[in-house]
Amino acid sequence: MSEKRFVTIDGNEATSVIAHLCNEVMAIYPITPSSGMGELTDAWAAAGRKNLFGTIPHVVEMQSEAGAAGAVHGSLQAGALTSTFTASQGLLLMIPNMFKIAGELTPTVFHVSARSVATHALSIFGDHSDVMACRSTGWAQLAGGSIQEVHDMALIAYASTLESRVPFIHFFDGFRSSHEVNKIQILDENDARAMINPDRVWEHRRRALNPDSPKLRGTAQNPDVFFQAREACNPFYDKVATIVQQQMDKFAQVAGRQYHLFDYVGAADADRVVVVMASGCGVVEEAVEKMTAEGEKVGMIHVRLYRPFDGKAFVDALPKSVKTIAVLDRTKEPGALGEPLYQDVLTALAEYGGPAARVIGGRYGLSSKEFTPAMAVGVFAEMAKAEPRRHFTVGINDDVTHLSVDYDPSYSTEADDVVRAVFFGLGSDGTVGANRNSVKIVGENTPLYAQGYFVYDSKKAGSVTVSHLRFSPRPIKGSYLVSKASFVACHQSIFVEKLDMLSLADEGATFLLNSTFGPDEVWDSLPIETQEQIVKKKLKLYVIDAYEVARQAQMGVRINTVMQTCFFKLADVMPVDEAITHIKEAIQKTYGKKGGGTVVERNFAAVDGALAALHEVKVPNAVTSKFHLHAGTSGNPPAFVKDVLGTMIAYRGDELPVSAMPVDGTFPTATTQYEKRSIALDIPIWDENVCIQCGICSLVCPHAAIRMKAFDTKYAEDGPQEFVCVDWKGKEYPGMKMRIQVAPDDCTGCGVCVNACPAKNREVAKRKAINMEPKLNHLEVERRNYDYFLGIPDMDRSQVKADTIKGSQLLLPLFEYSGACAGCGETPYVKLITQFFGDRMIIGNATGCSSIYGGNLPTTPYCVNAEGQGPSWNNSLFEDAGEFGFGFRLAIDQQIEYAHGLLKKLSSQLGDALVSGLLTNEGRTDEEIAQQRQMVAELKKKLAGVDDPDARHLLASADFLIRRSIWSFGGDGWAYDIGYGGLDHVFASGRDVNILVLDTEVYSNTGGQASKATPRGAVAKFAASGKQGRKKDLGMMAIAYGNVFVGQISLGANPLHAIKTIRAAEAFRGTSLLIAYAHCIGQGINMTTALNLQKEAVACGYWPLYHYDPTDAEQPFHLDCKDPKGSYREFAKQQARFAILERSKPEEANRLEKLAQGDIDWRWEFYSQLASMRYGKNSNGQPADVQEEAKEEVN
Amino acid sequence: MGVNLRTKYLGLSLENPLVVSACPLTQKLDSLRRIEEAGAAAAVLPSLFEEQIEHESAELTKAHEFGTDSFAEALTYFPEQDDYRAGPDSYLEHIEKAKAAVSIPIIASLNGTSEGGWVRYAKLMENAGADALELNIYFIAATLDMTSEEVEARYLDLVSAVKDSVSIPLAVKVGPYFSSMGNMAKRLVGAGADGLVLFNRFLQPDIDLDEMETSPHLELSTRFELLKPLRWIAVLHGRVNASLALTSGLHEAADLAKALAAGADVGMVASVLYTQGIPHISKILGGLTEWMEEKEYDSVEQLRGSMSQENCPDPAAFERGNYMKALVSFTGEAI
């Protein structure tokens, strides 16, 4: 047994360590929460870290999980030890290959951070619905609970798959285990070597396809033999459980930790036993330990090997005294007699005898729903009833089907000698990073065990983080959030009025508050609820102005190390001086290698300045505050929004009962307006005297938080006193007034609008027509102004010159205040498209950033106009937004055809003029759309009350007679990689679907992995040494079809071109593809000035603007920008994605940069020739189908 | 008999008095080799700018931290690299490579912003093998609250701090904007400067009238600029115990001859190499030799300082600040 070495890592890393040792090839694809495993192994491989066999594993990113599984299958068949990492839909995409791999008895381990499969909604969080969907594939399934177990089971899985030839899923709970940081004893190469039998490895290699000893697999078999052949593998499956137990026993020799297929914990004479697997085990175990200590006869079984399910071993593990068994499943199988583990337990008992116990089954923890010892105790209480529910849920309030068991939320198993800390921070302030570091410091420098888990909200800008830390003299088994904290820290004073942080505080806890108020003033800044809890729970209150300490240390908003130091001072986990030494070591390690002498010094200064600024506050005996916490919705929302979404906004969504939820995942749109987050420190303030009324500010705003309106003079007179307006300057709307208005509570303060504003003040050149100013100086006035502004009617769309920049900005955006990043480069396109077509849009959105800011609860940014019309939206999958949109098209065309038939049939009743108008109006312009709306209204009026089946059908289909605008939205990960096959099929179809690719050139939503859109030389995850190949030319691939409208646009470089191209694409009656340059955090850029970069991208030829219009017979391909000038290098060096390589591998960066410049030159030459060539003389310049349509139109 | 061009600068024995000053040409090994071939006696590497290093390091840190730990799916955006050649690493590597590539002395140049930074990087440069160090100090006291004494103290503290930390010779390159340049030069030498390089040229902000924005501007030097350092070299020669280097405006052999005559130990070139090419170095040296032969100078040592303020026939010329009528003397010195 090798010497114990402890490390503090998360479940993904604990798994990756083993996977990296035991594999030669890893084919991967990013999906939350498993991405970290692929990223780590890729980074280790890039750094030359070797496996057990002395080679550096090949880590290869594929275009999808299906692709990864195919590559794994191939690699296994060619004799390499091969693995992958995945979750959820990703695992489901691998299922076809998994059947093959198992059918061919091929040893491999897939590591799965188990995650909910999307049903009524997507969820990135954890449950077992994905692994349960693989039960029939023939794979063994081995579950890890604690991080130590996750680590250990990974190695046991490799040893077992090689011995048994049956492939293994090694799974653990997504987020709760994949992202929990815990102190574990790490296995090393020697341990792995002791477990992996080289003979089995050689046998695997010998089974590989080899032309020197040819063989064939993958035959097609017929009814005569398929069945028998399928049964031929039985002996292998019969041995798996025994082999796994043997490997567990061997592991005990190697590592000193003994596991069994089923491990029983609890009273030897227990009458109630809970059966559970993965991270829920530690939770139940805590409850069992406390209950048995109190004399209760309870127990639990850890299920480790779930497949093959060894019924005998299970029965043997049960105490004979058991009377009631509750099986907890972390999945839901609607329509089944019970969930899978429950059914397996019943079958085992039926087949293998065992005690005559009553078995009940319950669901818990779907989508990482909290599962606590209190809930486990609730289950035991249910089991003790004379007639417990046969099927139940725990952890929610099911007031519809009444399945949920009751429990006492105040029940706790927390021991007094365990430090339990929660920290409320902002994503941007470094709180999580510092806490992760604290866990590491304690875990690796003291005998204490340490656990860290981090909760994030659903927003990308201004997101709230909550860190849950435990430090204990014993291993920490329970994976659940801290609810009785001995230490609560509020890292941002803005939370004080919004979040009920102290509900998590235990009696006598310490509350550390970062506030600009000093120790004598801070009490009065606290709301009633907070003061009440401080007094009632006898909390010790400390205050520090960490902003000031950070400011003095020139650390900006990064208050993390200041607060971290104070935590160590107050929490009594280790001597503070020792902690400070370790904090500084971590600072040196993190920043030192980046050359940051000053960064290191500043961090040191922040640490050194912390304690002097920390003050204990004398807490009065009574509550003196006059104000309450405010959380929830703002304004005057509908009841559902207020009661349901409002509860979620207030971070109390866990309290909502089942009855509050829509039954099919349908939610109202236009709800972000009720979630006033007010996260900006500075907001743009309009200077009407400088403004040239160009509308650029409104166009580029990612959050629709600055808007332009033109209106009748009467509205200027009736407004609030400060509601300044000026005359409309253009000739289009004589006599009208206009105003630029900020939405002060919705602005994120990104400054993109001010950067883009072209109008400069003549007296003070640094001032523009809008200027960022402190929000608090303007908040009340601008709130009044914005309220009034919203009430002014929008202009008649038919009067607006929509194909101009300022005209477009007079149209109401039907996408507003999303949770996208401050300065997001995607959302301005989305918003602009809704301004043009939002009132008649249906959007199929690929999973990714745009589906998250578009559809992540609690509130949704797609909204409605005064008539209640607006985009209707759905997210199907990551890979199928093209097909999804195509499906919309098919249905709508069918409905239109049906309605047309009925119109003709009923023409005598409806009147020829109306019918003919509806049949001939194609809705190509806003005017035609307005006419269609008018006619449909008239039609509905005529049909109302007509007692005729055709009339009723036509009434139901009437809305389809207004031309609908069908869109598929998604990012480059979708369009270039996982969704390309489907997209290609839509191109080929020629059907009227508009496709918007928000091209950030990287997988943005999953944290910066390379896609085929990633340019040569850019550093990204899975391309740590710089992307080697050049970017795929998606536009040209679509153009090759001839009949697809293609536009490559950049709002920052040429907004007018973007506007005209978007409108032309939508008007085109076939498939349209828009590829939009979308800057992104993932590019490592200054988000405020990113639009300038877009200009440079176009100017240097990196991002040529063009459009290909199949209807233009003379010359369909148009290059819409000037010849490149300036160098690509100048453009690239402003972006970290390229600059990182220059700092880490300068020679390689230089090589790739030259190649990238070559790509640009080559492409420009190619495009130039395309733009100047004459298209086919014989074909009249157009593809045949476009000609045919043109003829039909003429006819 | 040939002319002896040998000179000493910062205690380094040089083949001739022409040194290539800090400029991008000395950044490339290939051009460094050509500089040596053309006959330059030493080369000053481009300045390592502490501000730039710190900025880049801060940016690198920011790029790795920006947007992280905010959203559950994207806790980071960039892969951590094993190693970064951030900070002074690539500069230090260049010193080593330059030393290996050429045999002429290599002078490293440093522009710092913090005392800690100056000392830290100076030591690193010494360790990397630089033959001497040139501190390129410029500080624009744009605040109206800082007195000239404070500015001067800052310069002096810096020089003395660096001097204390390295053992290789130390040159100090400054601008001319001191109320008492001579006194300042003397104090710089007192603080530890082994040599003075006169003068550095600042980047000057220009105004872009189209965009109404500032745009940084640095033109190549012109020969006219020679006169300013020429004056101060002449004034300082023989009065400060330090090497003197003239830089700015030295384009032709005659300019070098003037520099030497004024009292410089070496003259430095850069701008002219951009317009005339690196081989121009040999033209200057050839021209200097020719002129010295013509004027029958045996050596640079003989020429050096022959026209310094002390030694020239009209010392007042170096103190005169403006044109005025010639001061005519109507009487002789002794009646």
**Which tokens sit at A1032?**
């795929």
Q: What mean pLDDT do residues A660-666 have? A: 97
Among residues A196, A191, A166, the alpha carbon closest in space to that of A252 is found at A191
Taking CA–CA distances from A1021, the nearest residue in chain B reads B79
Contact A596 B86 (CB under 8 A): yes
A472, A591: one domain: yes
Q: How far is CA A994 from the centre of its chain?
A: 24
Contact B60 A175 (CB under 8 A): no
Chain A: closest CA distance from residue B86 (Å):
5
Predicted TM-score of the model (pTM): 0.93
Tell me how far apart the alpha carbons of residues B127 and B167 are, in angstroms, rounded to a whole number: 10
Chain B: closest CA distance from residue A403 (Å):
31
Chain A residues inside the 8 Å CB shell of B60: 594-596, 1136, 1139-1140, 1143
Question: How high is the pLDDT of residue A556?
Answer: 84
B70 is a domain residue: yes
- Interface test mutation site (partner B, options A429, A436, A593, A604, max chain B beta carbons within 10 A): A593
Taking CA–CA distances from B83, the nearest residue in chain A reads A1144
Tell me how far apart the alpha carbons of residues B25 and B20 are, in angstroms, rounded to a whole number: 9
A286 is a domain residue: yes
Question: How high is the pLDDT of residue B217?
Answer: 75
Of A336-340, B5-9, B46-50, least confident by mean pLDDT is B46-50
A955, A969: one domain: no
pLDDT at residue A1178 greater than cutoff 60 = no
Contact B67 A47 (CB under 8 A): no
Taking CA–CA distances from A31, the nearest residue in chain B reads B73
Question: How high is the pLDDT of residue A1076?
Answer: 98
Chain B residues inside the 8 Å CB shell of A1008: 74, 76-78
Q: Best-predicted range by mean pLDDT among A402-406, A558-562, B327-331?
A: A402-406
pLDDT at residue B325 greater than cutoff 70 = no
Q: Which CATH number does the domain housing residue A656 bear?
A: 4.10.780
Question: How high is the pLDDT of residue B291?
Answer: 97
- Partnered with residue A166 across adjacent β-strands are none
- Partnered with residue A596 across adjacent β-strands are none
Q: Which CATH number does the domain housing residue A370 bear?
A: 3.40.50.920
Taking CA–CA distances from B88, the nearest residue in chain A reads A595
Size of interface A-B (CB pairs under 8 A): 155
Which residues constitute the domain of residue A703? 676-811
pLDDT at residue A1 greater than cutoff 60 = no
pLDDT in tens, A403-416: 999 999 999 999 99
Chain A: closest CA distance from residue B221 (Å):
25
Chain A: closest CA distance from residue B26 (Å):
18
Which amino acids of A are annotated catalytic?
32, 65, 115, 1005
Q: Which CATH number does the domain housing residue B274 bear?
A: 3.20.20.70
Contact B57 A591 (CB under 8 A): yes
A162, A242: one domain: yes
A183, A44: one domain: yes
Tell me the HSE value of A976 on the side-chain side, using a 13 A CA sphere.
25
E strand map for chain B: 7-9, 12-14, 18-20, 42-49, 106-111, 132-136, 170-174, 195-198, 204-208, 213-217, 243-246, 266-269
B334 is a domain residue: no
| A445 three-class SS | helix
Contact B72 A175 (CB under 8 A): yes
Taking CA–CA distances from A1142, the nearest residue in chain B reads B85
A1190 is a domain residue: no
A1012, A1111: one domain: yes
pLDDT in tens, A1066-1117: 999 999 999 999 999 999 999 999 999 999 999 999 999 999 999 988 889 9
pLDDT in tens, B91-135: 899 999 999 999 999 999 998 777 778 888 999 999 999 999 999
Chain A residues inside the 8 Å CB shell of B73: 32-33, 124, 852, 1005-1007
B330 is a domain residue: no
Question: How high is the pLDDT of residue B323?
Answer: 61
pLDDT at residue B327 greater than cutoff 60 = no
Of A104-108, A266-270, A497-501, B66-70, least confident by mean pLDDT is B66-70
Contact B70 A456 (CB under 8 A): yes
Type and span of the H or E element at B89: helix B89-101
Chain B residues inside the 8 Å CB shell of A601: 116
Type and span of the H or E element at B33: helix B29-38
Question: How high is the pLDDT of residue A1195?
Answer: 45
Contact B66 A1084 (CB under 8 A): yes
Measured at the alpha carbon of residue A376, what is the angle toward residues A371 and A379, in degrees to the nearest 5? 120
Taking CA–CA distances from A1083, the nearest residue in chain B reads B77
Chain A: closest CA distance from residue B191 (Å):
26
pLDDT in tens, A174-203: 999 999 999 999 999 999 999 999 999 999
Tell me the HSE value of A1046 on the side-chain side, using a 13 A CA sphere.
23
Chain A residues inside the 8 Å CB shell of B212: 760, 765
pLDDT at residue B271 greater than cutoff 70 = yes
A663, A688: one domain: no
What is the DSSP track for A121-187?
Answer: S---S--SHHHHTTGGGT-EEEE--SHHHHHHHHHHHHHHHHHH---EEEEEETTTTTS-EEEEEPP
pLDDT in tens, B211-254: 888 887 778 888 889 999 999 999 999 999 999 999 999 999 99
A698 is a domain residue: yes
Average pLDDT, chain A: 95
A976 is a domain residue: yes
B327 is a domain residue: no
Contact A1143 B66 (CB under 8 A): no
Chain A: closest CA distance from residue B50 (Å):
10
B87 is a domain residue: yes
Domain count, chain A: 7
Q: What is the dihedral of CA B236, B242, B248, B253, to 10 degrees?
A: 90
Taking CA–CA distances from A760, the nearest residue in chain B reads B212
pLDDT above 70 coverage of chain A, percent: 98
A193 is a domain residue: yes
Contact B72 A1004 (CB under 8 A): no
Closest CB to B63 among A175, A597, A1084: A1084
pLDDT at residue B43 greater than cutoff 50 = yes
Q: What mean pLDDT do residues A894-907 have? A: 96
A558 is a domain residue: yes
Contact A1005 B73 (CB under 8 A): yes
Q: Which amino acid, one-letter code, is at A899?
A: A
Residues in chain B: 335
B229 is a domain residue: yes
A912, A1007: one domain: no
Contact A460 B60 (CB under 8 A): no
Q: What mean pLDDT do residues A406-430 have? A: 95
A652, A711: one domain: no
Chain B: closest CA distance from residue A626 (Å):
33
| Cβ(A300)–Cβ(A285) below 8 Å | yes
Contact B66 A1146 (CB under 8 A): no
For chain B, count helices (H), then strands (E): 11, 12
Closest CB to A1019 among B67, B73, B78: B78
A522 is a domain residue: yes
Whether the bond into A858 is cis, omega within 30 of 0:
yes
A118, A33: one domain: yes
Closest CB to A1136 among B78, B87, B120: B78
A875 is a domain residue: no
pLDDT in tens, A25-78: 999 999 999 999 999 999 999 899 999 999 999 999 999 999 999 999 999 999
Chain A residues inside the 8 Å CB shell of B93: none
ipTM: 0.90
Chain B residues inside the 8 Å CB shell of A1146: 85, 90
A467, A550: one domain: yes
pLDDT in tens, A135-166: 999 999 999 999 999 999 999 999 999 999 99
Chain A residues inside the 8 Å CB shell of B77: 1007-1008, 1081-1082, 1084
| A50 three-class SS | coil
Contact A1007 B69 (CB under 8 A): no
Chain B residues inside the 8 Å CB shell of A1020: 78-79
Domain count, chain B: 1
| A873 three-class SS | strand
Taking CA–CA distances from A458, the nearest residue in chain B reads B71
A157, A182: one domain: yes
A522, A593: one domain: yes
Chain B: closest CA distance from residue A43 (Å):
7
| Cβ(A815)–Cβ(A864) below 8 Å | no
Among residues A539, A488, A538, the alpha carbon closest in space to that of A513 is found at A488
pLDDT at residue A168 greater than cutoff 50 = yes
Tell me how far apart the alpha carbons of residues A965 and A436 are, in angstroms, rounded to a whole number: 47
Chain B residues near any Cβ of chain A (below 8 Å)? 53-54, 56-61, 63-90, 114, 116-117, 120, 212-213
Closest CB to A432 among B69, B74, B87: B69
Q: Other C-beta atoms within 10 Å of A24: how many?
A: 18
Contact A175 B71 (CB under 8 A): no
**Which tokens sit at B43?**
């080369």
Residues in chain A: 1195
Which residues constitute the domain of residue B117? 7-318
Question: How high is the pLDDT of residue A200?
Answer: 98
> Three-class SS string for A133-149?
CCHHHCCEEEECCCHHH
Tell me how far apart the alpha carbons of residues A106 and A116 are, in angstroms, rounded to a whole number: 27
